[in-house]
Structure 1
Amino acid sequence: MSAGLTTHVLDISGGCPASGVRIDLFRLQDGKSTLLRTERTNADGRVLGAMLGGEEFTPGVYELVFHVGEYFRGRGAELAEPAFLDEVPVRFGISNRDAHYHVPLLIAPWGYNTYRGS
């Protein structure tokens, strides 16, 4: 796998890939948050290509914001208002621009899990 940042989302409550999840990618620097990209997952729960790659893939602190409340409402899930989980932010650091960083998210209306994948 080439250097860059990738992600995917799995719906563990439905036992399926989470299709159509909106994901925002931010770079955090000097107390500011800059939106770099917004994508939606495909039928396999993946974003096509890298969320961040090439010259933009530099060491620093980043945040992926997964809009899971929107996803579950779209699937007809009954969520409280406000939902227990609406947006899931995952903040992480990239230290090696020659490495591949994969940030998967496993979701349910009541919880989530993430890790650095391969």
Structure 2
Amino acid sequence: MNTLSSHVLDTTLGKPVAGLPLTLYTPAGTTVTSVTDADGRCRDWQDTVFTAGEYRLRFACEAYLRSTHGETFYPFIDISFILGDQDSHFHVPLLISPFGFSSYRGS
């Protein structure tokens, strides 16, 4: 069975982002909302079964970036990715700052 996690880090401060809302969009058209924990990690997708297909994570970063840095160019960041059927763990890290972001397939 596939599993999914995410991790959000503020590259300006060099710290994890706690309490950041995320929305997962599944291939079936359903959405699941979650939030990062105190270490900026998210593993709670309720009872989602991660079948093969195209997914999207929306990171609602505007409130955090405005309250922490005073401004931002990005109200949210969407990352689309494809999960295979190989029974793997998939990790989607997000590195954010008020005017830039980066992501990659983590482990």
Alignment deviations for residues 59-98 of structure 1 (CA, whole Å, 9 cap, x no partner) = 01000000111211232x221xxx4111100000001250
Match of 2:99 in 1: 110
TM-score w.r.t. length of structure 1: 0.80
Task: Find the partner of 1:46 among 6, 28, 41.
Answer: 41
Which amino acid is 2:8 matched to? V
Which amino acid is 2:15 matched to? C
TM-score w.r.t. length of structure 2: 0.88
Q: How does 1:78-93 map to 2 (within 5 A)?
A: 78-79=70-71, 83-93=72-82
Q: Would the aligned equivalents of 2:25 and 2:55 in 1 still touch at CA under 8 Å? A: yes
Q: Provide the C-alpha distance between the structure 2 equivalents of 1:38 and 1:10, rounded to a whole number of angstroms.
A: 19
Match of 2:17 in 1: 18
Q: Would the aligned equivalents of 2:9 and 2:16 in 1 still touch at CA under 8 Å? A: yes
Q: Would the aligned equivalents of 1:8 and 1:105 in 2 still touch at CA under 8 Å? A: yes
Q: Provide the C-alpha distance between the structure 2 equivalents of 1:95 and 1:34, rounded to a whole number of angstroms.
A: 18
What is the root-mean-square deviation in Å for CA atoms of aligned residues?
2.0
CA shift at 1:51, angstroms?
Answer: 3.3
Alignment deviations for residues 7-53 of structure 1 (CA, whole Å, 9 cap, x no partner) = 01000011100111111000145xxx431x11111110012x35377
Distance 1:86 1:22, change over 3 A: same
* Structure 2 unpaired stretches of 5+: none
Q: Would the aligned equivalents of 1:4 and 1:52 in 2 still touch at CA under 8 Å? A: no
- 4+ runs of 1 displaced by more than 6 Å? none
* Structure 1 unpaired stretches of 5+: none
Q: Provide the C-alpha distance between the structure 2 equivalents of 1:41 and 1:5, rounded to a whole number of angstroms.
A: 13
